[in-house]
């Protein structure tokens, strides 16, 4: 656990110098149509949270569906290339990769790391109704490599009956399937697996009722926009005294208060003080003497790293529910993505300021108070405030890109990336790295 905390508050890695990017002074207001892959517009990836039956983050679904006018094969090729170039994407959890069966012959698929990987296959249309031994052999070869295969329910496809027998997972696009058929598929798939595990994946769940239905019918993994509709526990943060105390400490740190004053504020939150002291006294830090006081701890951590850690702790939730996990991941991913892309397009800018811009963009949703009111309590640089409150300044274009990537507004992603001089592959690699980092940190909440 301390290794993850060490990563969290360590000095941010410095990127190699990059060519200067085009930097508009304010965030883009409009999104022209995205160019297709054939026109050089690039294909951008989407990373979605996947939850288990306990409502915890189990992994991520990576895909390019709806990304551009590109063919499924072109989109899948871009997806595989990004994953192969980004080993960070496989650090934690399960990686569900959605692609077409027509792409299974792509050479890049054989380069993928197989651990924790599940291919979510959609069967491509075929002209004739006949067995496809080559496709069956390819699926079996991938399984022998340790890659799990999930097959979407497509009962009208001529090959579905044969291929579902080879699948490790049964998958359903819930938004496009009648509830009774979701139930029937679960029953049939589990009945066909009497001598082996029957794992079920529910994709594109749009409502809480659909989520409850899938949970009742023994699905194991859940994906979709339903998670954003579970705010009950998140709203409690507005009156959480622990978070109010964290805001007070953040204000003191950013306003350059005396170390003794910050230490006194930390003493009012014993669990937080305990975490700091235990971290610094862990063997991983390797100090040659024991840290006995908060004043010593603050000196060793430094103001910027302390600010970074405290801002992350704002989003920790005791026994989080699905909606809580989604907000935690959103905040952490935004912060890290701002930092990674900022290293490229804003060389020399403080990484911590970029990180705080991303993570504080979720603060209003967390605490259910106007963002302007919250930021008045935390002294921040004008660059951060301008981006968060007015969508202006040097950080605003990056924040707009990060928010567009989360919403997977492909036209806006392409427009913002082009304005910043960022190619699609750079955005994709940064998104994968930020997703993995957020997953690592959130996995180890105490």
- Residues in the chain with pLDDT values less than 50: 1-26, 29-41, 233-235, 446
Same-domain check for residues 250 and 341: yes
* 10-34 as b/e: b if 16+ CB within 10 A: eebeeeeeeeebeeeeebbeebeeb
Residue 148 φ/ψ, nearest 5 degrees: -80, 145
| Listed residues 209, 228, 247: the one ending a domain | 228
Q: Tell me, what's the pLDDT at 441?
A: 78
Same-domain check for residues 72 and 90: yes
Number of domains into which the chain is organized: 2
Same-domain check for residues 17 and 85: no
345, 21 in Cβ contact below 8 A?
yes
| Listed residues 228, 255, 273: the one ending a domain | 228
| Listed residues 182, 203, 228: the one ending a domain | 228
Q: Tell me, what's the pLDDT at 213?
A: 95
Residue 75: CATH number of its domain? 3.20.20.450
Q: Tell me, what's the pLDDT at 316?
A: 74
Same-domain check for residues 63 and 88: yes
Same-domain check for residues 260 and 332: yes
Same-domain check for residues 54 and 81: yes
Residue 434: CATH number of its domain? 1.10.3210
Q: Tell me, what's the pLDDT at 227?
A: 87
Q: Tell me, what's the pLDDT at 238?
A: 53
Q: pLDDT digits over 67-107, tens only?
A: 555 688 889 999 999 999 887 666 668 999 999 999 999 99
Same-domain check for residues 201 and 236: no
400, 422 in Cβ contact below 8 A?
no
CA dist 221 and 16 (Å) reads 39
Q: Tell me, what's the pLDDT at 235?
A: 46
Same-domain check for residues 210 and 147: yes
Same-domain check for residues 149 and 245: no
Same-domain check for residues 223 and 247: no
Q: What is the CA radius of gyration of the chain?
A: 23
315, 331 in Cβ contact below 8 A?
yes
Same-domain check for residues 135 and 262: no
The angle formed by the CA atoms of residues 108, 111 and 116, to the nearest 5 degrees, is 115
Containing structural domain, residue 78 = 42-228
Same-domain check for residues 307 and 347: yes
Task: Find, among 341, 377, 131, 379, the residue nearest to 248 by Cα.
Answer: 377
């Amino acid at each position: 656990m301390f290794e993850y905390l060490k990563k969290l508050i360590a000095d941010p890695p410095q990127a190699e110098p990059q060519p200067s990017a085009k930097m508009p002074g304010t965030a883009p207001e409009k999104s022209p149509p995205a160019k297709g892959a054939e026109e050089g517009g690039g294909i951008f990836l989407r990373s979605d949270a996947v939850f288990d039956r306990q409502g915890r983050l189990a992994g991520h679904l990576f895909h390019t569906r709806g990304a551009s006018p590109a063919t499924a094969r072109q989109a899948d090729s871009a997806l595989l290339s990004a994953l192969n170039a980004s080993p960070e994407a496989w650090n934690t959890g399960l990686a569900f990769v959605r692609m077409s069966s027509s792409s299974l012959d792509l050479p890049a698929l054989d380069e993928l790391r197989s651990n924790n990987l599940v291919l979510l296959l959609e069967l491509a249309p075929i002209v004739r109704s006949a067995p496809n031994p080559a496709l069956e052999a390819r699926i079996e070869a991938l399984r022998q490599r340790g890659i799990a295969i999930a097959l979407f329910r497509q009962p009208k496809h001529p090959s579905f009956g044969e291929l579902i027998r080879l699948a490790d997972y049964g998958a359903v696009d819930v938004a496009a399937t009648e509830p009774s058929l979701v139930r029937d598929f679960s029953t049939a798939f589990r009945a066909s697996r009497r001598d082996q595990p029957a794992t079920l994946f529910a994709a594109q769940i749009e409502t809480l009722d659909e989520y409850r239905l899938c949970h009742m019918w023994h699905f194991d993994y859940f994906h979709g926009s339903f998670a954003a509709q579970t705010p009950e526990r998140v709203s409690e943060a507005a009156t959480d005294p622990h978070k109010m105390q964290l805001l007070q400490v953040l204000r003191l740190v950013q306003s350059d208060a005396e170390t003794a004053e910050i230490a006194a504020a930390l003493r009012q939150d014993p669990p937080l003080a305990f975490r700091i002291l235990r971290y610094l006294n862990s063997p991983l830090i390797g100090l040659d003497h024991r840290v006995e006081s908060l004043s010593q701890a603050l000196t060793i951590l430094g103001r910027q790293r302390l600010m970074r850690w405290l801002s992350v702790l704002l989003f920790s939730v005791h026994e989080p529910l699905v909606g809580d996990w989604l907000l935690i991941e959103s905040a952490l991913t935004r912060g890290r993505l701002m930092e990674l892309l900022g290293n490229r397009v804003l060389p020399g800018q403080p990484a911590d300021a970029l990180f705080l811009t991303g993570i504080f963009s979720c603060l209003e949703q967390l605490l259910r108070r106007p963002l302007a009111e919250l930021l008045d309590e935390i002294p921040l640089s004008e660059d951060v405030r301008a981006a968060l409150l007015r969508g202006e300044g040097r950080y605003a274009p990056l924040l707009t890109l990060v928010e567009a990537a989360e919403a997977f507004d492909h036209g806006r992603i392409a427009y913002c990336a082009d304005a910043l001089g960022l190619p699609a592959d750079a955005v994709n690699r940064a998104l994968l790295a930020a997703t993995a980092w957020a997953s690592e940190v959130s996995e180890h909440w105490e």
